[in-house]
Structure 1
Amino acid sequence: MEWRDAGIVLRVRRHGEAHAVVSVLTSSHGRQSGLVRGGGSRRSRAQLEPGTIGVADWRARLEDQLGTLSFEPLEAIAPDLLSDPDRLLALSSACAVLESTVTERVPVPDLYDATLALLSALRDGTPLEVYVQWEMALLTGLGFGLDLTCCAVTGTAADLRYVSPRTGRAVSEAGAGVYRDRLLPLPAFLRPDCLLSGPADRLSLGQGLSLTGHFLRRHALLPGRQDLPEARAMLIHRLAGRSGGDGA
C-alpha cells in the first residue's frame, strides 16, 4: 500500500528515542497516522508543527498497518501567529479538534478544504469568528450540521435567536416562549441574515463556541474521547477572560 497526498500536520507524538508518530489530515485519504523515522530530532520537530501544510508519502505492507510516513513541509502557519496568542490557540484547537473527531482513513475532502481556508484566514488576520464558522463546517462535514434556515416552531426566518440543544434547529425569539432558558444562544454572526459592521465581540465568540461545543460533544467525539481537547478549552478561557463572560 502506498499513496502520496497533500496534508496538514495535526499531531506529533514521540516514538522511542529518535522517531515520531505523526497524524495528518489529507486531501483524499482523510486523517492518517504514520511513523516518521527520525521525526524525534530537533530539526524534524521544527518541520512537523501542527498546522504545517505539505506533502505526505505513506507506505505499508497492509492497509490496516500504521505504516511509515514521510512529510515534505511546504508552508508553516504557526510561526506567523506567534505574536497573536488568540490565533495561535485557534490553530492548536483546530488541529486537536480534528484529531478528536475525524475517523481515521475516511476521506473528508470538503473538510480538508475548509481547514486550509481556516489556516489561511488565521494567518491573514481575518476576525476570529472564522474559527467558530469552521467548527460549524466541521459539524456539517461530519454529518451533524445545524439547521439555521428558519425557526423550528414558527417557520419564520426572521429574528432567530436560539438553537435547540436536542435537534440543532434554530428558534426565533417569538418561538422560544417559556423554553427560552433551555435553549442555546445563537450569536448574531452565525445568523443567516447577519449584517455585522465589524468583528464579533468576545462574548458572542464564546456563545458560538458553546453552541458548536455542545454538538461536537454530543455527536462527534471519537470512541474513547472523554471531552474536547485542552487547546480548545484554553481558547475559550482566554476569550472569557478578555470579555468578562462565563465562557463555554
Structure 2
Amino acid sequence: MKWSDEGIVVNVKTFNEKAYVLTLFCKENGKKRGLFQNSKSQNGAALISVGDIGQALWFGRLQDQLGKFSFERKHQTSLYCFQCSLKNAVFNHLYDIINILPDSHTYPKLYELFYHINIEMQHFNSKDLIIQICLFELLLLSELGFGFDFSHCAVSGVSEVFYISPQSGQCVSREIGIPYHSKLFIIPCFWKKLDLNEDQIIEDFALESPQLYQELQTSLRITEFFLKKHIFEKAKNFSFSRQKIIQWINHSCQKNDSKC
C-alpha cells in the first residue's frame, strides 16, 4: 500500500550508512515513520533535516510497518532558527511536543498551526512567537481531550467564567471561585475570546494590551501545569527548552521588547 501527503520532518535517525529513519508529521496521516534512502551528501552530511516541509510518498506492505519514504523538500525551517535563541528554543519545544504524539493519529488543526509557525518562523518577532506558542499549547490540550470550556461556569452555569481548577480543569465564575482563590488559576482574558472549535484559528488571533506579557506569562504557566499533568510526565526535555522560553519572556517583560 502507499499514500502521498504533505508532511514536516520531526525526527531523523541514522539507520545505516545509506539511510535514515524519518518521522514525519503529516497533514492527513498524522505522525508516521519510514526509511529514507540516499540521504547523505558526499561529505557525509544529511540531505534532510528536522523542520523540512515537503511532499512525502510512503509505501509499505502493511500500514503498521516501518515502510519507506520518498520526500521532496519545499521549505527548510531550521535555516531561520539558529541565529535567534528564542526561535531555537521554540523550535526545539514544538518538535519535542510533536514527537511524543501517538503514531498515525491525525490532528488537522494542530498540523495547520504547526505548519503556519514553521512557514512564518523567519518573519516572527519574539511577541509573535510567544503568542503562537500560547495558542499551540492550548490547541494541543484541546486536541488531546484536555481542553477548557469557557462557555459557562461548571458549578452555577452562568456564562461569565474567571477561574480554572487545577484539579479538574473546569472553569468557574468569580463568585464561585473567590473562596478558593489561592488554589485556582485566573483565566487569561484573551483565552475567553478564542474558539478552538473553529476551522480557522490562526488569522484572527492577535493580542494587543498594556498587560500583554503578563497575559502571555499567565497563559504559559497554566498550560505548563496541564501539559505536565496529562502529557509530559516522562518527557525530560520539556522543562529545558520551555524554560528558555520563559526566561526570554521574563527578560522581555522588563524591556517591553519584541525584537528577536
> Of residues 242, 247, 256 in structure 2, which corresponds to 1:232?
242
> Is the 1:189–1:200 Cα contact (8 Å) retained in structure 2?
no
Instruction: State the partner residue of 1:152.
Output: 154
Change in CA separation of 1:24 and 1:155 when aligned onto 2, cut-off 3 Å: same
How far the C-alpha of 1:241 sits from its partner, in A, is: 4.8
CA-to-aligned-CA distance 1:175-207 (integer Å, 9 cap, x gap):
212211111232233232899534864443232
Change in CA separation of 1:95 and 1:179 when aligned onto 2, cut-off 3 Å: same
Change in CA separation of 1:196 and 1:111 when aligned onto 2, cut-off 3 Å: closer
AA aligned to 2:6 is A
Instruction: State the partner residue of 2:79.
Output: 79
Matched, 1:109 2:108: yes
How far the C-alpha of 1:55 sits from its partner, in A, is: 0.9
Work out the CA distance in 2 between the residues paired with 1:172 and 1:123.
40
User: Where do 4+ consecutive residues of structure 1 move more than 6 Å?
Assistant: none
Instruction: State the partner residue of 2:38.
Output: 38
How far the C-alpha of 1:121 sits from its partner, in A, is: 4.6
Match of 1:45, SS state, is: coil
> Is the 1:14–1:40 Cα contact (8 Å) retained in structure 2?
no
Instruction: State the partner residue of 2:163.
Output: 162
What pairs up with 1:58-207 in 2 under 5 angstroms? 58-100=58-100, 102-125=101-124, 127=128, 128-158=130-160, 160-192=161-193, 196-198=207-209, 201-207=212-218
Matched, 1:20 2:30: no
Work out the CA distance in 1 between the residues paired with 2:26 and 2:206.
34
How far the C-alpha of 1:172 sits from its partner, in A, is: 3.4
CA-to-aligned-CA distance 1:119-178 (integer Å, 9 cap, x gap):
3454432722122111111222222211122333443444x4431112222233332122
Mean CA deviation greater in 205-214 or 229-238: 229-238
Mean CA deviation greater in 134-143 or 149-158: 149-158
Work out the CA distance in 2 between the residues paired with 1:77 and 1:195.
23
> Is the 1:29–1:107 Cα contact (8 Å) retained in structure 2?
yes
How much identity, in percent, do the aligned residues show?
Answer: 25
Work out the CA distance in 2 between the residues paired with 1:35 and 1:122.
28
Work out the CA distance in 2 between the residues paired with 1:95 and 1:236.
17
CA-to-aligned-CA distance 1:7-30 (integer Å, 9 cap, x gap):
011122233444322211101111
- Give 5+ residue unaligned stretches, structure 2: 195-204, 255-260
Task: Provide the TM-score with structure 2 as the length reference.
Answer: 0.77
Change in CA separation of 1:199 and 1:122 when aligned onto 2, cut-off 3 Å: farther
Task: Provide the TM-score with structure 1 as the length reference.
Answer: 0.80
Mean CA deviation greater in 38-47 or 160-169: 38-47
> Is the 1:35–1:69 Cα contact (8 Å) retained in structure 2?
yes
Work out the CA distance in 1 between the residues paired with 2:115 and 2:9.
11
Work out the CA distance in 2 between the residues paired with 1:195 and 1:30.
28
Work out the CA distance in 2 between the residues paired with 1:232 and 1:28.
28
> Is the 2:86–2:244 Cα contact (8 Å) retained in structure 1?
no
- Give 5+ residue unaligned stretches, structure 1: none
